[in-house]
Structure formats: structure tokens, C-alpha cells
């Protein structure tokens, strides 16, 4: 089985993670790994457990059993604070930006720098601009623009830049292109690629096969809470991935073809 054989240690690895909500078992023995400089696409139908999985990684839902490894070390993530301390940042679908604040203010929200009692606006503005230009964001006119004046793509960009600002190692993007037009989707996908190229481990959750095949290095497909496949992008076709999502198997790949269901 073509699998987790990468020469490097994964930045983050989940082994045998289980999670239930009451009687409903949402994640079954999930193994999941993300690598530095790689985009890992996490695909699956509605209810496959994608959101639950990232919420476990983000520390919002504590896991029932299983183990997290961060850069090879076993770690436990039980609160969002733990995740942030490890350098795991999640960009949620509903962006979580305040419209009435500008880009700099949003990027530093909750982690403002200050000198004594006073906000250190100068250093925050410089860092925000550096981060944005490191990601080659070219569409923003001013970092002092209100977020309410930005387009959907620009907002997504700001949300992603906010996650990157904190020297994060793992950036998880939840459907970043879901509400965007063609041109803006392109911008965001380019940004996702650059995130990986600047040394982040990126997890991309998406329903859109075009997006997945455009930027992903690896694809992990979830089917009813189980990992149906974890493959390199070159090894599969779009059709195979769609089958993995909808049926959990495709030819040799998938749940039913393995000796046991993992």
C-alpha cells in the first residue's frame, strides 16, 4: 500500500485517534500525518469527520483515545491553548475577523504588542506588513484598511496571514475557497502553495477536487470516520478520490480492500 513513507518525520502525526459524541462514534482509529513544506488535503463527504478531526487537533474536542506526536515527540492537546503553544493554527470557514477593525488590528487581535500601557502600533504594523509581503500578498492597498472594505479573497488572505504571524508550524485551512469566485480562489490557492513553500505544514480541507489536485501534495480521504486512503497526489486520479469520498473505496485503494479496516 502506497503510504506514509516520507523521508522526514511528520510535523504532526495522529495515531489511532478515536472520538465519540455520546453513542455516536465519529472517528475510528484515525491515523493522520502532516509534513513540513507539504500541503495535505483532507477530503471526505459531509459527516465523514473532517471537522471533528481538525477540532481535535485544535484542542476544541479532547480525544477519547489515541496519541498525538509533534515533531516525533508524544504530546497531548486538550485545550486550544495547547495547540497554539505547539504552533498549530486553524483558519475556520467563518473567518473570525472583526469587520470594524483594520487588517493590523485583526492580525494581532488577542495578542497585541504593547509598550508599557500603550499599544505598540508601529511594531505591529511593521510585522503585519512583513508577514503579508512574505506571503507575496499584492492585492491589499493598505494594512490600515478596515476588514469590512475587503473582498472575500482578501479576507481569507488576512485570516491566513493572521495564522502565519505566530511562527506557526501547522496551518489548518477549513474550506478556504468555499465562498470565493474564480479569480479569488486562484489567489488563495497560490497563497496556500506559498505557505507550504515557506516551510509550513498545511492541511487543506476542501470539497473541490480541482483545488485539491492543484495544490495538494498528499491526500487523506475520510469515509464515515475512518481513513479510506492516505496517498500522494500523483498516485491517484480525481475520479478515484471521488470514489474514495463517496464509497470509501476505489479499486485497490480504500477500506474494503485492506485486510482489516485499519
Partner 1 sequence: MKVADADFALDRREQTVTSAVRDYWARVRGGELGALPSIFSLASLVILFTALRPETFLSERNIANLFVQAMSVTILALGLVFVLLLGEIDLSAGVTSGVCAAVMAKLMTEAGQPWYVTVPAALLTGLVIGTCIGLLVAVVRIPSFVVTLALFLGLQGVTLRLIGEGGTVPVRDEVIVALANDNMPIWLGWTLAVLCTAWFAASQLLRWRRQRRRGLARRPLGLVLAQIAVVGAALLGLTFLMGLDRAPSPAIVLNGVPWGVPLVGVLVITATFVLNRTVYGRHVYAVGGNAEAARRAGIHVTAIRMSVFMIASTLAAVAGMVDASRLNSVTPDAGAGNVLLYAVGAAVIGGTSLFGGKGRARDAVLGGLVVTVIINGLGLLGSPAYMQMLITGGVLLLAASIDALARRRQAATGR
- Contacts of residues 215-220 at CB distance under 8 Å and 24 or more positions apart, as own/partner, are 215/39, 215/41, 215/189, 216/39, 216/40, 216/41, 217/35, 217/38, 217/39, 217/40, 218/35, 218/38, 218/39, 218/40, 218/41, 219/40, 219/41, 219/43, 220/32, 220/40, 220/41, 220/42, 220/43
The answer to whether 103 and 128 have CB atoms below 8 angstroms apart is yes
The interface with partner 1 within residues 43-102 (CB under 8 A) comprises 92, 94-101
The reply to whether 109 sits near partner 1 by the rule CB under 8 A is yes
Question: What backbone torsions phi and psi does residue 96 show, to the nearest 5 degrees?
Answer: 55, 50
Cβ 67 to partner 1, closest distance in Å? Answer: 26
The reply to whether 252 sits near partner 1 by the rule CB under 8 A is no
Pairing of β 170-174 and β 201-205 = parallel
The reply to whether 166 sits near partner 1 by the rule CB under 8 A is no
Q: Closest CB to partner 1 among 33 and 150? A: 150
The reply to whether 112 sits near partner 1 by the rule CB under 8 A is yes
The answer to whether 19 and 252 have CB atoms below 8 angstroms apart is no
Cβ 240 to partner 1, closest distance in Å? Answer: 36
The interface with partner 1 within residues 138-157 (CB under 8 A) comprises 138, 140-146, 148-149, 151
The interface with partner 1 within residues 115-134 (CB under 8 A) comprises 117-119, 121-122, 125-126, 129-130, 132-133
Cβ neighbours of 208 (radius 10 Å): 16
Q: Closest CB to partner 1 among 22 and 110? A: 110
Q: Cell triple for residue 255?
A: 477500506
Show the binding pattern over residues 203-242: x = contacts partner 1 (CB under 8 A), - = does not.
----------------------------------------
Binding site for partner 1 (CB under 8 A): 92, 94-101, 105-106, 109-112, 114, 117-119, 121-122, 125-126, 129-130, 132-133, 136-138, 140-146, 148-149, 151
Amino acid at each position: 500500500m502506497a503510504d506514509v513513507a516520507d523521508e522526514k518525520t511528520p510535523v504532526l502525526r495522529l495515531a489511532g485517534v478515536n472520538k465519540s459524541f455520546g453513542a455516536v462514534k465519529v472517528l475510528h482509529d484515525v491515523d493522520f500525518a502532516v509534513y513540513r513544506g507539504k500541503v495535505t488535503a483532507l477530503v471526505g463527504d459531509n459527516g465523514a469527520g473532517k471537522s471533528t478531526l481538525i477540532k481535535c487537533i485544535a484542542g476544541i474536542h479532547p480525544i477519547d483515545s489515541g496519541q498525538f506526536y509533534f515533531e516525533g515527540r508524544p504530546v497531548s492537546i486538550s485545550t486550544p491553548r495547547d495547540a497554539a503553544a505547539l504552533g498549530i493554527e486553524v483558519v475556520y470557514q467563518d473567518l473570525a475577523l472583526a469587520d470594524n477593525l483594520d487588517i493590523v488590528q485583526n492580525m494581532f487581535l488577542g495578542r497585541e504588542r504593547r509598550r508599557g500601557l500603550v499599544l505598540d502600533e508601529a511594531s505591529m504594523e511593521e510585522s503585519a506588513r512583513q508577514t503579508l509581503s512574505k506571503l507575496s500578498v499584492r492585492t491589499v492597498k493598505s494594512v490600515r484598511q478596515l476588514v469590512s472594505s475587503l473582498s472575500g479573497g482578501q479576507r481569507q488572505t488576512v485570516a491566513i496571514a493572521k495564522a502565519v504571524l505566530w511562527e506557526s508550524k501547522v496551518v489548518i485551512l477549513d474550506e478556504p475557497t468555499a465562498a470565493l469566485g474564480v479569480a479569488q480562489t486562484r489567489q488563495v490557492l497560490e497563497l496556500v502553495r506559498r505557505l507550504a513553500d515557506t516551510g509550513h505544514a498545511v492541511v487543506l480541507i476542501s470539497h473541490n477536487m480541482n483545488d485539491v489536485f492543484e495544490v495538494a501534495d498528499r491526500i487523506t480521504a475520510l469515509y464515515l470516520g475512518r481513513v479510506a486512503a492516505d496517498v500522494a497526489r500523483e498516485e491517484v486520479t480525481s475520479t478515484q478520490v471521488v470514489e474514495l469520498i463517496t464509497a470509501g473505496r476505489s479499486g485497490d485503494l480504500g477500506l474494503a480492500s485492506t485486510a482489516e479496516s485499519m
